[in-house]
Chains A and B, each alone.
Chain A
Amino acid sequence: MSTTDLPLPTVRPAHAPPGVGNLRGTRSFPAEARESLQDTQLRRNLGKATGVIRAKRAAVVDEVPDWEELRLAGSAIKTDVMARLPELLEQLEASVTARGGVVHWARDAAEANVIVLDLVRATGADEVVKVKSMATQETGLNEALEAGGVAAWETDLAELIVQLGEDRPSHILVPAIHRNRSEIREIFLREMPGVDPDLTDEPRRLAMAARAHLRRKFLSAQVAVSGANFAVADSGTLSVVESEGNGRMCLTLPRTLITLMGVEKVVPTWADLEVFLQLLPRSSTGERMNPYTSTWTGVTPGDGPQEFHLVLLDNGRSGVLADVDGRAALNCIRCSACLNVCPVYERAGGHAYGSVYPGPIGAVLSPLLTGITGEDDPNASLPYASSLCGACFDACPVRIDIPNLLVQQRAASVESHHRPTGQDVAMRAARVAMTSPGRFRAAEKGLGLGRALGGRSGRITALPWPASRWTSSRDVPVPPAETARDWFARTRPGRER
Chain B
Amino acid sequence: MMVDAQIIPFEDDEARNRRRLSSVDATPARDLPQAQPGTPTAGAVAEWLDFLRRRVTGDYTVDEFGYDADLTDHVLLASLRPLYQEWFRVDVRGIENIPSEGGALIVANHSGTVALDSLMTQLAVHDHHSAHRHLRMLGANLVFSTPFLGEVARKAGHTLACNADSDRLLDAGELVAVWPEGFKGVGKKFSERYKLQRFGRGGFIASALKAQVPIIPVSIVGAEETYPMLANFTPLARLFNLPYFPITPTFPLLGPVGMVPLPSKWIIEFGEPIPTDHYPVGSADDALLVFNLADDVRDTIQQSLYRLLTERQSVWR
The answer to whether A and B belong to the same complex is no
Q: Tell me the B residues contacting A by CB distance below 8 Å.
A: none
Q: Tell me the A residues contacting B by CB distance below 8 Å.
A: none
